[in-house]
Amino acid sequence: MADSRECAQCGALFAPAREHARFCSARCRVAWSRQNGGVSGTANGVLDWSVTAMGDTTKRLLRARSPDLPAGYAMVTEAVWWCTMVEATLVRYHPDARAAALSRQDAAGRQVIEDTFAGLRYVRNQMGYKADHEDFVDPAAYPDGGTASGQVAAWTWKHIPGLGISGLPGPAREWELTRYRAYQVALAGRRIGDTFSRAAGFLTETAEISQGRGRVTAGAPYA
């Protein structure tokens, strides 16, 4: 991919290997973390509040039963937003904690987590802007084919064509194509509840590690 950006620490140009890469090397990442541990907006209280809000949102979705479609769609949208926003904060301001949380998983587990968040970012970028809820979400139905029912957590992500990608410029198209592929691998055909359980579990663990409170057993799966 023909793309480059400045290292957030030393200013050197580098070719990012990952979508969220901000540093040209591990040394620069560590140096930035040491110098900016107290950056405004990333203090423990703010992070705690954001993670709590994300947890409350996902728990409400997992418990919800027999909503009408608009209410169910709203729950999914809110959960997508909170999970991707909390993850972006942790990637930007707590990269070492995120790396530590990932290291507790085996290679397959790490890939599932990375694909889950990339897929959620794809949904966030498309839903309500270039696509509608029904393009992504397949509500569970009564056995007789009636209206949507049961738990929102039992709804599934649809298999979809690559929405909203073709008109993007080169680097942006490549990033969005990567997100779309991750969506197809980690989300499509799977229960929405499983996606948010996994995402919320990982984000909560990462936040705890960032504040010296990591309690999750190494290698523990996210349901």
Query: Dihedrals φ, ψ of 198, to 5°?
Result: -65, -45
Domain presence at residue 222? no
CA separation for the pair 157, 196 (Å, rounded): 12
pLDDT of residue 178: 87
The two tokens of residue 93 are 């301001």
Same domain, 161 and 62: yes
Same domain, 30 and 85: no
CA separation for the pair 52, 46 (Å, rounded): 10
Angle (CA) 163-102-209 rounded to 5° is 120
Pairing, β 5-6 against β 13-14: antiparallel
Domain presence at residue 215? no
Same domain, 6 and 44: no
How many domains does the chain divide into? 2
Average pLDDT, the chain: 80
Is the model more confident about 214 or about 117?
Answer: 117
Task: Please spell the DSSP secondary structure of the chain, one letter per residue.
Answer: ----EE-TTT--EE--SSTT---SSHHHHHHHHHHSTT-TT-SHHHHHHHHHHHHHHHHHHHH-BS--HHHHHHHHHHHHHHHHHHHHHHHHH-HHHHHHHHHTS-HHHHHHHHHHHHHHHHHHHHBTTTB-HHHHEE--B-TTS-SB-SBGGG-EEPP---TT-TTS-HHHHHHHHHHHHHHHHHTBTSBHHHHHHHHHHHHHHHHHHHTT---SPTT----
Domain presence at residue 111? yes
What's the pLDDT tens digit per position in 173-182? 777 888 899 9
Task: Give the residue numbers spanning the domain of 16.
Answer: 1-36
pTM greater than 0.85: no
Same domain, 103 and 164: yes
pLDDT of 67 strictly over 50: yes
Same domain, 102 and 2: no
What's the pLDDT tens digit per position in 18-38? 666 778 887 777 777 766 654
Q: Give the Cβ contact number of residue 77 at 10 Å.
A: 17
Same domain, 53 and 126: yes
pLDDT of 183 strictly over 50: yes
Same domain, 72 and 144: yes
Same domain, 18 and 109: no
Same domain, 84 and 113: yes
Same domain, 159 and 79: yes
CA separation for the pair 218, 11 (Å, rounded): 35
